Structure 1
Amino acid sequence: MEGNGIPGPVKKEMSHRDMALFLKEYKSSGIGGRNMVTQRTFGTLPSGEEVKIYHLENKSGAFAEVLQFGAILVKLCVPDRDGRLTDVVLGYDDLAGYEVNGCFFGATIGRSGNRIAQSRFTLDGKEIVLTPNEGANNLHSGPDGFEKKMWTASEISEDKNAVTFSRISPDGENGFPGEFNVSVTYEMTEENELRIVYGGVCDQTTIANMTNHSYFNLAGEGSGSAMDQYVTIHAEQYTPVGEGSIPLGENVAVEGTPMDFRKAHKIGDEIEADFEQLRITGGYDHNYVTDGYNKASIREIAEAWSEKTGIQMNVLTDCPCVQFYAANFVDQEHGKNGHVYNKREAFCLETQVEPNAVNVENFHSPILEAGERYYSETIYRFSVKK
């Protein structure tokens, strides 16, 4: 098998039948708070399918809303320093916006986040050819990825304040091998954490590198530029890219470069610096190899803070890497509440393995063996910093 030998997120043996038991055990594990899960109709697809949205609210009144179509995070409302609920993610008011969603607002990305060079790789000596959707490359798994599919709300837990979406990605979907029985669970805890858990099993060796593509503005969606917000990324290395934002095949030190976020500073401080990597991507749009990775262990990898609202977000995950994107290419997107979103009015912190990792020996592996359990967890934790 080609790819690499560095382990990615933890994987364990699991059959298709065992997948349902795994999900049930996770939801009964006692994680999270107890409050309210409600649902309502969000819209109807051209096919006539009715799409539900699920409202997950904790005792403090903080809530998330997630969509059955695309398993998309639509709203995330948390208190600011004055106790006012603030929606900190970009999105759309109606289903039509998410049917297009060229920016991937709030999207569940799968099977594989980020880019795969030339839309191809080799598994077990066989060349796998994917559907390209960014020139010759495959971005976020190709056209009509997981973010454009209907999911089943397979479990709703008011006790855990959570909903689990599931679907079967058929063998050959966008070129990926194997039938992938996959799930994503959203949970809004009493600690004002949005916990996202991905699980799955495939009957053939495949790629599994799922992530969430939410765009955050901690001053509130539609509030304008996010470049005055502070970000820390616990990473000594990042992944330089070349043409098409494909990694050059190595990770290098952030020290002495505008890529260094080891100490908190404003996103906009050096985004226009005369630095080749920033010129190539039009601003920050790079993978960071985060410190302290140890297979399945959850640790903090980043934090962000808005001086305007006092809202602080800490990002915890079991993934080895995170893509930091400063919304460099958002242009005249008509979003929620009549707001029009533009360049650099948000940022993304997408947990993952390195882009194109399946083709680079010394990157972390996204390969999921047939019958193995895929499991990955990311937490966005919110608090107020006075």
Structure 2
Amino acid sequence: MAQIRSKPFGVTKQGANVTEYILSNPGGLTVSVLDYGCIIKNIIVPAKNGPVDVVLGHDTMADYEDDFTSSSSTCCGAFVGRYANRIENATFSVGGKTYQLEANNGPNHLHGCFSRKLYRVKAFGDTLLMEAESPDGEDGFPGNLKLAVRYTLTEDNAFRMDYRVSSDADTIVNLTNHSYFNLNGEGDVLGQKLRIYASNYLEGNNQTCPTGAILPVANTPMDFTEGKLIGRDIDTGFAQTTMVGGGYDHCFVIDRARGSSQSICAWVTSEKTGISMKLYTTQPGIQLYTGNFLQDCPTPGKGGVPMQKYGGFALETQHYPCSPSHPEFPTTVLRAGKVFRATTTLRFFTGKQCGKL
């Protein structure tokens, strides 16, 4: 069974103490989590040439705060909501009432404030349970929300993220984790191989909001169904990738087996380190973001090294962006008294354990 220890990480600008929790299993996989933003600070994977930290992050609490409160925030490693990804024109209607949100991404609303909350933590066995509240009106959304985030590390190198949210009023919810992965532990990710189990993707407009069209990936640079190097088709002049900074920032529609709960949605491998990662989720979509603007991060990454373009990729399991504008998409409405649940699992392999992508 995994073990959990803790240590101080720093103090917020408001004077709150932040704690780092370190989960480690007998095989040597280690995951560090902060009670600020439920941030996944480190995932250290034992590999053929030594352990590799496969997620981006910062060294200090001040760097995380300066990043997360900037206009070019990366949300690096954080639990994201009330609404992960975008809400078009920062407005939505539920229960016959229209709500105006902060326009923090051009004219749109992006992600919200869950990444900047301090969570209460209970540690037991191989699991961290982190809880908080989101009061009615926070970020402009209706309903008092109760939040529960549970992180579990297993002996077979799986890291599971469970979300549970309830509200006392009708509202909308979309949740994800915003880690950036780099299975090499350094440099760019263009030479890492990615497979996404999705035959279709959401066409985006020039604000990265879905147009409503669900298009096949076949015969386009959006096709990762057989697995390919992340950088192979990243700069081909294809309009969908050109308009988001020369890369990917798109939601893919996960191919889901009928009746399944968690389905595999992505598989990444690094030839350099021999590390592979598989993702499974209960959510209907996965947003691939290739760090097209990471170089704009106002604070340095780990070791004081500046963030770089394509320095990490995010695989954000979630409902579709801008769902309130597209009633044909899976609903993100959470009714009063009901519970929203979602699960995503990362499973790590080294060498030949994972098989051939």
Q: TM-score, normalised by structure 1?
A: 0.87
Residue in 2 that maps onto 1:250: 213
CA contact (8 A) 1:324 1:349 kept: yes
Deviation at 1:88, TM superposition (A): 0.2
- Which amino acid in 2 is paired with 1:355? P
Is 2:20 the counterpart of 1:53? yes
Is 2:235 the counterpart of 1:272? yes
Is 2:6 the counterpart of 1:42? no
SS of 2:198 mapped into structure 1: coil
- Which amino acid in 1 is paired with 2:119? W
Deviations 1:155-182 (A, max 9, x none): 211x2x1211110100010011100001
How far apart are the structure 1 equivalents of 2:65 and 2:258?
37
CA contact (8 A) 1:293 1:320 kept: no
Deviation at 1:358, TM superposition (A): 1.7
Structure 2 counterpart of 1:195, from 160, 177, 196: 160
Structure 2 counterpart of 1:355, from 321, 328, 340: 321
- Which amino acid in 2 is paired with 1:237? N
Deviation at 1:296, TM superposition (A): 6.9
How far apart are the structure 1 equivalents of 2:329 and 2:287?
14
Deviation at 1:295, TM superposition (A): 7.5
Residue in 2 that maps onto 1:147: 115
How far apart are the structure 1 equivalents of 2:296 and 2:255?
36
How far apart are the structure 1 equivalents of 2:2 and 2:57?
25
How far apart are the structure 1 equivalents of 2:296 and 2:229?
24
1:302-341 to 2 correspondence within 5 Å? 302-331=266-295, 333=297, 334-341=300-307
CA contact (8 A) 2:2 2:153 kept: no
CA contact (8 A) 1:202 1:372 kept: yes
The more displaced of 111-120 and 44-53 is 44-53
Residue in 2 that maps onto 1:186: 151
* CA distance 1:332–1:286, change in 2 (3 Å): closer
CA contact (8 A) 1:293 1:318 kept: no
SS of 1:350 mapped into structure 2: strand
Instruction: Give identity over the alignment, percent.
Output: 37
- Which amino acid in 2 is paired with 1:45? T
Residue in 1 that maps onto 2:261: 297
How far apart are the structure 1 equivalents of 2:241 and 2:28?
40
How far apart are the structure 2 equivalents of 1:293 and 1:218?
28
How far apart are the structure 1 equivalents of 2:309 and 2:241?
15
* CA distance 1:295–1:109, change in 2 (3 Å): farther
Deviation at 1:339, TM superposition (A): 2.1
* CA distance 1:294–1:375, change in 2 (3 Å): farther
- Which amino acid in 2 is paired with 1:164? L
Which blocks of at least 5 consecutive residues in structure 1 are unaligned? Answer: 1-33
After TM superposition, what 4+ stretches of structure 1 lie above 2 angstroms from structure 2?
Answer: 293-296
SS of 2:303 mapped into structure 1: helix
CA contact (8 A) 2:56 2:181 kept: yes
Residue in 2 that maps onto 1:116: 87
C-alpha RMSD of matched pairs (Å): 1.2
CA contact (8 A) 2:2 2:154 kept: no
- Which amino acid in 1 is paired with 2:17? E
Structure 2 counterpart of 1:164, from 129, 136, 154: 129
How far apart are the structure 1 equivalents of 2:258 and 2:324?
19
SS of 1:61 mapped into structure 2: coil
The more displaced of 335-344 and 280-289 is 335-344
How far apart are the structure 2 equivalents of 1:304 and 1:207?
31
* CA distance 1:381–1:260, change in 2 (3 Å): same
How far apart are the structure 2 equivalents of 1:366 and 1:293?
21
Deviation at 1:372, TM superposition (A): 0.6
Aligned pairs, how many?
344
Is 2:346 the counterpart of 1:380? yes
* CA distance 1:168–1:114, change in 2 (3 Å): same
The more displaced of 342-351 and 72-81 is 72-81
1:231-246 to 2 correspondence within 5 Å? 231-246=194-209
Which blocks of at least 5 consecutive residues in structure 2 are unaligned? Answer: 68-72, 353-357
How far apart are the structure 2 equivalents of 1:374 and 1:352?
12
Is 2:35 the counterpart of 1:68? yes
Deviation at 1:362, TM superposition (A): 1.3
How far apart are the structure 1 equivalents of 2:289 and 2:12?
30
- Which amino acid in 2 is paired with 1:253? P
1:209-228 to 2 correspondence within 5 Å? 209-220=174-185, 223-228=186-191
1:125-136 to 2 correspondence within 5 Å? 125-136=96-107
Deviation at 1:35, TM superposition (A): 2.9
How far apart are the structure 2 equivalents of 1:58 and 1:337?
25
Deviations 1:111-140 (A, max 9, x none): 110000001111011101111101210011
The more displaced of 312-321 and 72-81 is 72-81
Residue in 1 that maps onto 2:355: none
